[in-house]
Structure 1
Amino acid sequence: FYEGNLLDARRLFEEARDLYETLNAEPADRSRALMALGLVAVEQGELDRAQSLLENALQLQEENRLTATALHAQTRIGLGNLYLRRGGWDEAARHYRRAHEIASNAPSLLRAQALIGLGNLALRQRDLRKAEMHYNDALKILEGNFPNSPLIVQMLLNLGMVALESGDADLAQSYFEDAERKTPQIHASHMTERVRLNSAILQIRRGDTANTLSLLNQLVASLQRPGSNRLLLGQAHFYRGVVRARQGDIPAAREDFNRALALYQQAAPNTIFVALTQLNLAKQDYRAGDAARARERLEQAIAIIDRQRSLILDPDLQTAFSENYFEAYSLLALLEAERGNAARAAELLEQSRARALLEQIQRTQLESLNPSPEWRALQNQWQALEAERIELRRQIAAIYAASEQGEVTPEAAETQARPLYESLTVLERRQQQLEDELRTRFPNEARLLTPPPMSLAIIQQQLDPDVALIYHALVENTLLIAVITKQSVHAHYQVVNPATLIEEIRAFRSEIQENREAITAELIEQGARLYQTLVAPVAEILSGYERVLLCPEGELSQLPWAALVIETRAGKPIYWMERVAIHLTPSMGVYRYARHPRPLEPAPQGVLVAAVSKYETEPDQSAQQSPDAVPAEPEQVPARTQVAQRGTRGAALNNLPAAEKEALSIERLIPNAIVLREDEVQPERVREQARVRRILHFACHAEAKDENPLESVLKFDARGERWLTAAQIMARWRLQADLVMLSACETARGKVYRYEGVYGLARAFLHAGAKSVGATLWQVEDESTAQLVEEFYKSYIVRKLPKDRALQQAQRHMLQQGYAPYYWSGFVLIGDCR
């Protein structure tokens, strides 16, 4: 078995089983034979047979009180492997965790196998750091105790795949080369096929298809022999299909994909691999003009994707999973649009957007569904665990971010992260138990844990009569635009180069930020080009609508839509915001929740302002400077951003004199507003005051952390003693606010996901319950920000305009005062516009 000779292994294990039965052997021996046959069947891809054998072995052990034995742990590892290959991640996790518990007192080989199973599960669920940690732990056990084990080769291959999925192809290659060198040394010739497959995947990722095809041809031929792993053969066919498709040999690619699909559907029909294969075949059907067959395949793929996603408990891992597989929604939406079914296209786009955020928001508000003490007690326990989970995720991300910055070694980072991951595992198990209890004891309320898909009719119910909703999606070199109003739905699609469009968006942002005082010809040209691509195709549909709600995809969420140029008159640009009031939403599900009345909650009242204008400066460093050193010129206009580099504390932040002006202007407009200033702005005090306020306004420094968005932060001092992170907001804040205004730098920025949206401060406040958030796309200047904010509140509070119109009026005011787009187009409103 360990040499990969599965046919002889099966024959010998069957003989052993028969002898044990003839001799009426001990239950442990009989179950061992069944387990061994089950392991062989798993490796051969005969998963139905494997399940029967392993479950019979498990039953024998349970009936004869063998559940604390190494044999029981090994049987559970086999069942974990079985369910993992079938896509049953919840069952796989249950078996692996129980095996890991038993293996703590078992032989070290068994501990290594349990760690490998947990690593495989983490890799499937896109928790790459956890997978790497488990694999490294297993590798240390194997190298220290079993230096000739074929599992060493498997661990090197697995670590290479983690590196490849993390974007480090060079490190992946190093692991794969180590595995190739080890294979003959430890007589693991049966691992050759796996080494070849992983090397082929690496070459495909690098775009080297010429050499890869020959390698995959050898692999497919090798795996045709009797007794070989049928699922591995299916993977070889799949990746050969990918290579052939890239080389333009579509008939051969289709043949490979169909063979891969047949092999997997026979053994493991509900795995994500089947969904991926169906997605690739759907693309080929679509390009060949067989839209009906493509739609059928995509529906099947989406059913599997949704089921697999539902088995992931951690919202961060759900997001990572969605990024890899939700393209199926966008492609099916395009196909529906092309056949004239705009309603279905819009519904599919909505189903792909911000699902983790919606589920988190709904979860935080579930205590209001049932006033019983039992329900509230369970909810409170779950929320406490969720707060711990968010903090553990923040700490883990911070450790690995420090490693990537070179502040600690990768080995030290893994050592620091290990106890955090162990705590996370215990916590997730308790969360799962609580969730199971909630679903059992309160089935009606538990159904709301996963919001149902929104129909077109429900989407339209959320729209005011004068608002038009626009979805944008990029798929198959096509821009899909869906426009929904109270009475109608339309879809438009056009050929674009997605990479070029994203580069144009980034160039437009850069042009605005780099030319703060000027409206350059390049800015006008770029703004006009983007308008022609993104808005002009549906301009006729938008005619008569003065308010627009955008639900953009990925990088489009970072576009300053207000500054798009409709036309020029006498050389002067006419901006889109001059014609329409604009606001955004991560999804209509999130939008609906913001507009839905929440029972059993007191109505929010009043305004809370937290304003910090005075920040400590750095200590006098003149003694450390050269006497000839020339002091740097101070900035003419202080931006609301930190000057210090990442990770330093106590470094100078610019004072923000206009933050105090903002506070004073709000006090004039709203005399009963509560204003906290300077040292009064303590995170815990603000949290307590904010719980029942209708409006929260922050005027201070902020910093977005693109790679670790949970550490995006509002800075209430220069020393780091009074900082408020996105993680803290998500974990501990619960709001009823109609509006949270983040008058600080980059508060609408963070880590951008294609389908889930932007992770950062704005999302954290939506998660906490805010109905809308005002935020910024870049570093904003102090004085002009105060002017824009004052104009916004004049319109929103005094003239009682909707928030989107109030923002439009403030932006128009800034434009009329001669301010370039840098000073006003970076302000966005996310959420309910009322």
Structure 2
Amino acid sequence: MRRRLVVLWLMFLLGLPGLAGLCVAQDSTPLDIPLLTRQAEAGYRGAMLALGEAYLDGNGVKRDLDKAVGWFTPLARTNDADALYLLSFALRERGRPGDLDEALRNAVTALSLTKKRKGQEFLEANIQSQLGFIYEKLGRFDETVVAYEAARRIFEERLGQSHPQVAGAYMNLANGLAGAGRQEESLAATETAIRVISRLPGTDQEPLGSLYLNKAVSLISLARYGEALAAVDQAEVVYQQLGAQAVRIADVLRNRSRVLNLVGRNQEAIEAAQGALTLYGQIPSPDQSTLAATHGILGLAYRDLRRYDDARAQFRAAATIIENNPRASRIDMMHPLINLGNVDDELREFESALTNYQQALSIILDTYGPDHAETAGMLSRIGNTSLKLKRYDAALEYGLQALLIQTSATDADVDNERYTYRMLARTLSATGNRTTAIFFAKQAVNTHQEVRARNSNLSDETRAALGQSFQPSYRLLSDLLLADGQFSEAQFVAGLLKQQEFYEFTRGGAGRSSASRDIEPGSIRLDEVEQSFWTDMRASMEPVLQIASEMRALKATREETGTALLEDKLKMQELAAKRDQAMQVFVASARNLIDRTETAKKTAVQFGQRYADKIESDLRSMSPNTVLLQIMSQDNNLHVFIRAAGRQMIYRMLPVGRTELANKVSAALAAVRDHDEDALAQLAALYDDIIRPVRSDLDAAVDLKSTDAPVLLLDLSGFLRYVPFAALYDGRRYLVEDFAPALYNPASPTSFTPMRRDRIKGAGFGVTRPFPGFAALPGTARELETVFKIIAGKPRLDDDFTQKSLAKALSSKPQILHIASHFRFRPGNEANSYLLLGNGDGLSLDQLRSQKQYNFRGIDLITLSACETALGGGAEGEEIESFGVLAQNKGASAVMSTLWQIADESTAKLMADFYEGLINQNLDKARALRQAQLDLIQGAKPEPQVAQASRAMTALEDTEETVSEVPTAHPYYWAAFILMGNWM
């Protein structure tokens, strides 16, 4: 989005300092307007200038730009440099048709005259600033930057950097650089202005607020949304400390709304924009362009929430304001047209969308030219709508043109880039060009990763909201790879999203092992054919880029007079024609290159092969009789991969739609947790969809007759992580009766080695008492007592279970850490996701992550005999591994936790049986858990004397009811337990 100029101290910066001594308006004496009028009518130069400035400023008279122009014009005709400058200023302010062009001619003439006179440096700088404003209004941003830079240089040379006028010059330069698409340089100029103002003693600090808002705009353009929000907050602090007017707080709300919308916090964006509009409504004469922009921002938030009628109303309101504003320029209509087109596109009114888009493109081309980021963004939108109309040739041509412009940009607009890449991928897929479709889909995913890297400082909640927009690109690439038969690569892409979740959850994981760094998200490597395609594509762009460079250089050339010669204008027209011709040659060349690449033999994706090699290495390091089941759910199909060490991978595509399967998972989970009578039927339906079609493949990969039950490793993503695989039911038996399930995450730094049993040392902690919001857990004491008859160590209960005692236990490096308590999980909120300690305090995920005393290195198993330690609240299960992933990243080898609220007494029984198998029967973790679950399935019961309680997230009513028999064969009691990491 093009930056709107924030005019800071306009008259101070552009007018009076350079004209000191010209006007009596400079001192504090009230102007004698009648006297000045008589003197001016008599032809006195000073009086004419002073009277013109009075009407220009509204100093002693009502502001009247027509009268100001009238007094400056006679002097300007005599080539009076001061009058020419002031006339240019008044014309630009008046803004009638033709005024800008006339203002430009007068400013150019004034500059030429001023440069011939000594001692006029300040006037020259002010004229250069005036030229910069005019060029910006005309969309001539390369010339804008030249003018602003000249002004800055003069001011800084004459005044030094510690001067408010120098700060203003840097701010003007920042605006020009932003308009030219040079966002990093623009940000640097804004930060310089902030430093200058901040260091000035006794200076009005209000301009700092505007500077911070301008900084936020630059950061938005660079997709650095977290920093943008921080800059908006800084502006608000400045304004609140100064007790600023409503308009300033409204500016803060308007900018905050834009950032919130970009990171997916749409409802908050709506509230901020509505607040801004309310405040602007309290101002007698609000700036109409700002008001229109605020309606547009509100409309964007409505659109992203699919409230299209509300969105369209806001966009039309913006358009109406602009149409009724006599000072509005043509460019002001650009964004309302684009936004209305977006709504039409979403509502499948494609022809209407194209009409709006084409009108916007015409404005953009006239204003910015053919090589600007705004032009590229508009071409991508037109291409995407053309794709929806199945006009594939048009879509491809628009997309290729947008790609060329974005590739040559000084500062990449990553938001528009990923849009273009994805549109090209979908277009090429629709035309059967899979190879290049996959290439562009990879570029889209990699660009998403760049956006993620720029926003590592966002809060968990905001980062999660931003990440929601990434998933369609991953799915698109995964689908394309699967359709192309690149199964390992498709697995890698699905895993990449999971790795991203892992990486985000651990924030890069301080102290990560080299294994985790190897699969750190961020780049899908291109194969040799794709690299060659991109090299050739870039080479075919060079003729167009070279001509565009010549055009920019010619525009930036300044003659002594500041005007372009006739021969330069003719040269520009010649270059423009050559560029159009070269663009058509590029498009034709790119089409041929796409066709040639499609026939080239593809090699494996380097990083995808590395991913496959890691899986094979992990499988070979495990004990025999292990099979890996990897499952991806796409829109229309379920993709299943089966691997065993030394065996060829098996791939199956099952005709199970994503929405249908997600609904079945939700229904089954609810039925099990609620003890519904149809729980088995729901679990059987899931078995039929997921396991039955590949059961023979699983059986063939293992030895079912072995005395050791085969281990079923599960690599899952999305909502599939909510499936209680152990309880899937074939009509006679649960899956756990034939296999020992365990979760496998290639993104986690796990070493698969058998547990050392020469001397098992443990540490245990538990909570028995009730606390506000949490029920008592009477079975915890017996659970820990039983467990620590098997494991060496002394458990700590209630008041002995504190942060200090846990940290001390960890420092002694126990092999097993067993915790029996409540766990409260809030997805996206680490500070409010915590383990309940025995004294009623909470130990948050944020503390576990950041504090060095919580180091789990050397721990072979962490058992969280608590509720919902693995359950996330999102429909995609992004946080399903929650505590487990964090613990593994901080050194734990394996973690056992639960999917839902678990029964207190049956859990105590299961834990006792688990450790009996693990320690005394020498079973590995997966098979020990399976045996404990089978004990409950086969009818083992907890002691009858203690009432049942749930390790729940909310308080339950106490009961004195004695339970004589608990039906522990129901999956509710045993299927919640999941083991992740090193299952051996």
The reply on whether 1:499 has 2:659 as its aligned counterpart is yes
1:588-631 Cα offsets, whole Å, 9 max, x none, are 13144x6699xxxxx99832222112215xxxxxxxxxxxxxxx
Distance 1:259 1:744, change over 3 A: same
- TM-superposed deviation, 1:562: 1.9
The reply on whether 1:576 has 2:735 as its aligned counterpart is yes
Partner of 2:640: 481
Contact 1:745 1:780 in 2 (8 A): yes
- TM-superposed deviation, 1:490: 4.6
SS, match of residue 679 in structure 1: helix
| Structure 2 spans left out of the alignment, 5+ residues | 6-94, 240-247, 253-279, 515-606, 705-709, 940-967
SS, match of residue 747 in structure 2: helix
- TM-superposed deviation, 1:503: 1.8
The reply on whether 1:78 has 2:191 as its aligned counterpart is no
CA RMSD, aligned part only?
A: 4.7
Distance 1:38 1:745, change over 3 A: farther
Partner of 1:561: 725
Distance 1:540 1:697, change over 3 A: closer
Partner of 2:898: 776
Contact 1:125 1:321 in 2 (8 A): no
Distance 1:94 1:789, change over 3 A: farther
Partner of 1:681: 801
Q: Distance in 1 between matches of 2:906 and 2:969?
A: 9
Distance 1:554 1:364, change over 3 A: closer
Q: Distance in 1 between matches of 2:436 and 2:454?
A: 28
1:377-392 correspondence runs (5 A): none
Partner of 2:688: 528
Contact 1:615 1:655 in 2 (8 A): yes
- TM-superposed deviation, 1:475: 4.3
- TM-superposed deviation, 1:194: 0.7
Partner of 2:293: 154
Partner of 2:779: 658
Contact 1:119 1:131 in 2 (8 A): no
Relative contact order, higher structure (CA 8 A, sep 6+): 1
Distance 1:13 1:685, change over 3 A: farther
Which 10-residue stretch deviates more, 216-225 or 138-147? 138-147
Q: Distance in 1 between matches of 2:109 and 2:877?
A: 54
Partner of 1:609: 764
The reply on whether 1:235 has 2:377 as its aligned counterpart is yes
Distance 1:166 1:784, change over 3 A: farther
Distance 1:135 1:10, change over 3 A: farther
1:245-287 Cα offsets, whole Å, 9 max, x none, are 4455545444443444344344468432222211122122223
| Amino acid of the structure 2 residue aligned with 1:801 | L
Q: Distance in 1 between matches of 2:815 and 2:633?
A: 37
Contact 1:611 1:660 in 2 (8 A): yes
Q: Distance in 2 between matches of 1:209 and 1:54?
A: 42
1:359-758 correspondence runs (5 A): 365-366=510-511, 454-463=610-619, 464-465=621-622, 466=624, 467-475=626-634, 477-487=636-646, 488-515=648-675, 519-532=679-692, 536=695, 539=698, 542-544=701-703, 546-565=710-729, 567-568=730-731, 572=732, 574-585=733-744, 587-592=745-750, 606-616=761-771, 650-651=772-773, 653-670=774-791, 672-691=792-811, 692-706=813-827, 708=829, 710-716=831-837, 721-732=840-851, 733-736=854-857, 737-752=859-874, 757-758=879-880
- TM-superposed deviation, 1:367: 9.6
Q: 2:974 aligns with which of 813, 824, 830?
A: 824
| Amino acid of the structure 1 residue aligned with 2:336 | V
Which 10-residue stretch deviates more, 60-69 or 805-814? 60-69
1:488-541 Cα offsets, whole Å, 9 max, x none, are 4454445543222222221221222233576543442343234347x5596477
Q: Distance in 1 between matches of 2:455 and 2:869?
A: 29
1:559-581 Cα offsets, whole Å, 9 max, x none, are 2222223x33xxx2x22222322
Q: Distance in 1 between matches of 2:457 and 2:363?
A: 39
Q: Distance in 2 between matches of 1:42 and 1:472?
A: 54
Q: Distance in 1 between matches of 2:874 and 2:249?
A: 34
Q: Distance in 2 between matches of 1:26 and 1:454?
A: 67
Distance 1:331 1:267, change over 3 A: same
Distance 1:614 1:227, change over 3 A: closer
| Amino acid of the structure 2 residue aligned with 1:150 | S
| Amino acid of the structure 2 residue aligned with 1:115 | L
1:221-256 Cα offsets, whole Å, 9 max, x none, are 554545468433433343344444445554544444
Q: 1:325 aligns with which of 450, 466, 470?
A: 470
| Structure 1 spans left out of the alignment, 5+ residues | 370-450, 598-602, 617-649
Distance 1:46 1:780, change over 3 A: farther
Q: Distance in 2 between matches of 1:604 and 1:452?
A: 41
Q: Distance in 2 between matches of 1:526 and 1:696?
A: 34
| Amino acid of the structure 1 residue aligned with 2:669 | R
Q: Distance in 2 between matches of 1:92 and 1:287?
A: 40
Partner of 1:292: 435
Q: Distance in 2 between matches of 1:722 and 1:70?
A: 51
Q: Distance in 2 between matches of 1:356 and 1:282?
A: 24
1:649-687 Cα offsets, whole Å, 9 max, x none, are x35x322111222111111111x3231112222234323
1:337-387 Cα offsets, whole Å, 9 max, x none, are 444443433343333332363477596553999xxxxxxxxxxxxxxxxxx
Contact 2:671 2:679 in 1 (8 A): no
Partner of 1:386: none
Partner of 1:278: 421
Contact 2:190 2:215 in 1 (8 A): yes
The number of aligned residues is 700
Distance 1:215 1:582, change over 3 A: same
| Amino acid of the structure 2 residue aligned with 1:472 | I
Contact 1:17 1:30 in 2 (8 A): yes
Contact 2:387 2:395 in 1 (8 A): yes
Contact 1:482 1:492 in 2 (8 A): yes
Contact 1:323 1:753 in 2 (8 A): no
Q: Distance in 2 between matches of 1:473 and 1:133?
A: 41
Distance 1:48 1:183, change over 3 A: closer
The reply on whether 1:121 has 2:121 as its aligned counterpart is no
- TM-superposed deviation, 1:779: 1.6
Distance 1:41 1:701, change over 3 A: farther
Distance 1:526 1:470, change over 3 A: closer
Q: Distance in 2 between matches of 1:320 and 1:778?
A: 24
Distance 1:477 1:18, change over 3 A: farther
1:693-729 Cα offsets, whole Å, 9 max, x none, are 3322221222222463542222236xx9512222222
Q: Distance in 1 between matches of 2:920 and 2:684?
A: 34
1:277-324 Cα offsets, whole Å, 9 max, x none, are 111221222232211221232343344444444333327466555542
Q: Please identify the structure whose Cα radius of gyration is greater.
A: 2
Which 10-residue stretch deviates more, 58-67 or 230-239? 58-67
Contact 2:418 2:443 in 1 (8 A): yes
- TM-superposed deviation, 1:551: 2.7
Which 10-residue stretch deviates more, 485-494 or 135-144? 135-144
TM-score (norm 1): 0.71
Partner of 1:427: none
| Amino acid of the structure 2 residue aligned with 1:697 | H
TM-score (norm 2): 0.61
Q: Distance in 1 between matches of 2:132 and 2:497?
A: 38
| Amino acid of the structure 1 residue aligned with 2:171 | Q
SS, match of residue 353 in structure 1: helix
1:152-205 Cα offsets, whole Å, 9 max, x none, are 433443455456557777876676465445435654353222123234434545
Identity, % of aligned positions: 21
Distance 1:486 1:73, change over 3 A: farther
Q: Distance in 2 between matches of 1:662 and 1:24?
A: 93
